[in-house]
């Protein structure tokens, strides 16, 4: 495949994904016809790239989630919470729908990195050493972060990403300060 075809294919993929996100911003699932009209491509072009709308959704999800996972994996280089919140806000229409349905493997991997680099050491420091118990803390923190992000998106991202990151840090700090003292 030559470079022009690669560039053309990438441009078409980008336009179709942007069309999908535009439809999702209106809180509705698009048809192939709508996507083709928005992306200015023929139906045959759409089907050369994707099996159906759901295939496009899955590939768009994977691409967006890959970006989020990268942000969360940088946890070793500093606290990535603000970057994560900013990224989720930038793709707000996607995440508003996405977070209602599930947590993907790539987001799970990112949370796992954040847990290992930031939160697990704190829990060890305050005396939580049992791995099984730590799994409960991990699930608690992950669910809390997801719930705060969902609420923020549902409220139209009125608070800044910095403020949401501060709220998340305060929640996590409160959880780690209590550690095993509450049991």
Same structural domain for residues 74 and 159?
yes
Region of poorest pLDDT, from 6-15, 20-29, 51-60, 107-116: 107-116
Contact 88, 153 (CB under 8 A): yes
Question: Which residue carries 């095993």 as its tokens?
Answer: 180
Residue 161 lies in a domain: yes
Question: Which residue carries 């060890």 as its tokens?
Answer: 124
Higher pLDDT, 150 or 32: 32
What's the confidence (pLDDT) of residue 75?
55
Same structural domain for residues 25 and 78?
no
Host H or E run for residue 17 = helix 3-25
What's the confidence (pLDDT) of residue 3?
53
Same structural domain for residues 158 and 112?
yes
Same structural domain for residues 44 and 81?
no
CA distance 4 to 1: 8
Note the pLDDT tens digit of each residue in 119-159: 788 888 888 888 898 888 888 888 888 889 889 998 989 99
Counted domains in the chain = 2
CA distance 179 to 125: 9
Higher pLDDT, 38 or 176: 38
CATH code at position 44: 1.10.10
Nearest to 8, CA basis, from 33, 39, 51, 54: 39
What's the confidence (pLDDT) of residue 109?
65
What's the confidence (pLDDT) of residue 134?
86
Note the pLDDT tens digit of each residue in 166-175: 999 888 777 7
CA distance 167 to 173: 10
What's the confidence (pLDDT) of residue 71?
78
Q: What is the DSSP string of 102-168?
A: ---HHHHHHHHHHIIIIIHHHHHHTT---HHHHHHHHHHHHHHHHHHHHHHHHTTS-S-HHHHHHHH
Mean pLDDT, range 52-68, rounded to an integer: 86
CA distance 128 to 125: 7
Same structural domain for residues 173 and 129?
yes
Note the pLDDT tens digit of each residue in 105-129: 556 666 777 778 777 888 888 888 8
Same structural domain for residues 4 and 78?
no
Is the per-residue pLDDT at 183 higher than 80? no
Q: Which domain holds residue 40?
A: 1-50
Is the per-residue pLDDT at 19 higher than 90? yes
What's the confidence (pLDDT) of residue 1?
47
Residue 150 lies in a domain: yes
* Residue 170 Cα distances to 22, 150, 151, angstroms: 34, 18, 17
């Amino acid at each position: 495949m030559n470079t022009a075809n690669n560039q053309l294919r990438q441009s078409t993929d980008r336009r179709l994904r942007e069309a999908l996100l535009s439809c999702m911003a209106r809180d509705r699932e698009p048809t192939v016809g709508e996507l083709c009209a928005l992306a200015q491509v023929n139906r045959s072009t759409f089907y050369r790239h994707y099996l159906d709308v759901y295939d496009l959704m899955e590939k768009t999800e994977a691409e967006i989630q890959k970006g989020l996972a990268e942000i969360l994996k940088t946890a070793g280089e500093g606290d990535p919470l603000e970057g994560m919140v900013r990224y989720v806000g930038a793709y707000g229409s996607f995440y508003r729908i996405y977070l209602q349905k599930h947590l993907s493997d790539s987001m799970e991997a990112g949370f796992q990195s954040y847990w290992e680099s930031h939160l697990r050491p704190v829990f060890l420091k305050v005396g939580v050493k049992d791995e099984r118990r730590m799994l409960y803390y991990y699930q608690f923190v992950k669910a809390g972060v997801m719930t705060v992000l969902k609420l923020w998106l549902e409220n139209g991202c009125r608070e800044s990403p910095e403020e949401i990151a501060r709220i998340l840090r305060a929640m996590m700090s409160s959880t780690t300060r209590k550690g095993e003292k509450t049991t």
